[in-house]
Amino acid sequence: MKITDAKVLITSPGRNFVTLKIYTDEGIYGLGDATLNGRELAVASYLSEHLIPCLIGRDPFQHEDTWQYFYRGAYWRRGPVTMAALGAIDLALWDIKGKALNTPVYNLLGGKSRTGVMVYGHANGKDLEETVDEVGKYIALGYRAVRAQSGIPGIPSTYGVAKGKFHYEPAEKGLPPENIWSTEKYLLHVPKLFEALRLKFGDDVHLLHDSHHRLSPIEAARLGKSLEPYHLFWLEDAVTAELQEGFRIVRQHTTTPLALGEVFNTIWDAQTVISEQLIDYIRMAPLHAGGLTHLKKVASFAEMYHVLTGCHGATDLSPVSMAAALHFDISVNNFGIQEYMLHTKQTDEVFPHSYHFEAGFLHPGDAPGLGVDYDEKLASTFPYERAYLPVNRKLDGTMFDW
């Protein structure tokens, strides 16, 4: 089999998505997600201008060699744009191989290691009371695990609090919106939220929280310690991810489990936090970690250090990415949990898929390949519009991490 063509498809059914479609001489095509939130056209251009010309004529079954060709073959390598483009190619090749062999991708990754993939939903509210109510709605829908984010008294807007509740989408069209931040107000508020949640819902439901890379190591240590009575499933992205050594301080002070890595691109980004057992869950997802070929290696490395997986699953990852994550999740031994944010109805219609939710678990379905298709005609009715994630400033105007 030979690759005959590939094209980059861009659509915006509620938010922007970049999709790579690879064609073969046997009539089989594969799909890869190439979406990088707020930088979509950079990946599209990297694919069209630099990678696709080198893909034509290659055997799609040799995805390890193709991965190495684009990774090692590029002197200027790594980084989110490069690795998202490589991830899209890799996912499309796994999709082609599954379709050609008439089997779901999880069978190529080792088969099923479990009956379903436990997911967590995103509950959020403008204040503590509303957030408690929203967590209750997810529990009523059958979720076993819920992430809780709440508005903070004295701060007009913050990360994780939606306008549309079930469809949280922080990216906005136009120029980047500005948020305001106070670490002190946040640190005082979050333990009260989890105290209220445990009082209301008891000990059985798994509760998660995301600090979105906004704390210093000692602040994260304080938060982790103050949350210990409420036994979180994890505290996510406690500290900016560039300084892996910073997690040593957090780890020395708290037993709250830590999750990190949605912004990581390669195994090297996670080397210290995994090998020193500074985290409990690695959040890298197939697309932004250069595809399933590379993520399998990250999972095997993590397995040696008792680190479980917890793939990023925000709405800025298309259903192609979600499907790839589910094939991965159901097959690796050291799976922990999968993030699951609902896409809009229009997105699901552009990307018909075989995965489905049942009683707190997602199932990848048994369609060959990744089990996702792309309705090009419908997609073309949703043209791309430039959009950005917000930026963030402290109360005194200082630029800060969003």
Binding footprint of Mg ion on the chain (CB under 5 A): 210, 236-237
**Smallest gap from residue 337 Cβ to Mg ion (A):** 13
186 is catalytic: no
User: CB atoms < 10 A from the CB of 83, how many?
Assistant: 26
Shortest Å distance, C-beta 160 to Mg ion: 9
- Nearer to Mg ion by Cβ, of 22 and 135: the residue is 135
**Is 159 noted as a catalytic residue in this protein?**
yes
Buried-exposed string 95-115: b where 16+ CB fall within 10 A, e elsewhere:
bbbbbbeebbbbbbbeeeeee
Q: 283 or 353, CB closer to Mg ion?
A: 283
Contact criterion met (CB below 8 Å) for 199 and 189: no
Q: Which is nearer to Mg ion, 106 or 120 (CB)?
A: 120
307 secondary structure, DSSP code? P
In the complex, least distance from residue 382 CB atom to Mg ion, rounded to whole angstroms: 26
Length of the chain counted residue by residue: 402
CA neighbor of 244 nearest in space, from 279, 291, 200:
279
On the CB side of 87, how many CA atoms lie within 13 Å of its CA? 34
Between 213 and 251, name the residue whose CB sits nearer to Mg ion. Answer: 213
Q: Which one of 23, 71, 143, 159 is the catalytic residue?
A: 159
Q: Which is nearer to Mg ion, 169 or 210 (CB)?
A: 210
Question: Pick the catalytic residue: 212, 288, 312, 343?
Answer: 212
Alpha carbon 383 to its chain's center: 24
Q: Scan for tokens 């503590």, then name that residue.
A: 128
Expressed in angstroms, the distance from the first to the final Cα of the chain is 45
Burial 282-316 (b: 16+ CB within 10 A, else e): bbbbbbbbbbbbbbbebbebbeebebbbbbbbbbb
Contact between residue 308 and residue 258 where contact means Cβ atoms under 8 Å apart: no
In this structure, which amino acid lies at residue 22? I
CA distance 70 to 188: 47
CA-CA distance, 158 to 166, in Å (whole number)?
Answer: 17
What's the Cα-to-Cα distance from 368 to each of 95, 99, 296, 331, 354, rounded to whole Å?
8, 5, 20, 15, 10
Least CB distance to Mg ion at residue 140 (A):
25
What is the closest distance, in whole angstroms, from the C-beta atom of residue 343 to Mg ion in the complex? 18
* Distance of closest approach, residue 36 Cβ to Mg ion, in angstroms: 15
Q: Of 236 and 329, which CB lies nearer to Mg ion in the complex structure?
A: 236
Shortest distance in whole angstroms from residue 262 CB to Mg ion: 5
Q: In the complex, what is the shortest distance from the CB of residue 212 to Mg ion, in angstroms, rounded to a whole number?
A: 6
- Beta strands at 178-181 and 391-394: parallel, antiparallel or unpaired: parallel
Helix (H, G, I), strand (E, B) or coil at 165: coil
Tokens of 24: 């073969």
Q: Toward Mg ion, which CB reaches closer, 40 or 237? A: 237
Nearer to Mg ion, 108 or 263 (CB): 263
Catalytic residues: 159, 212
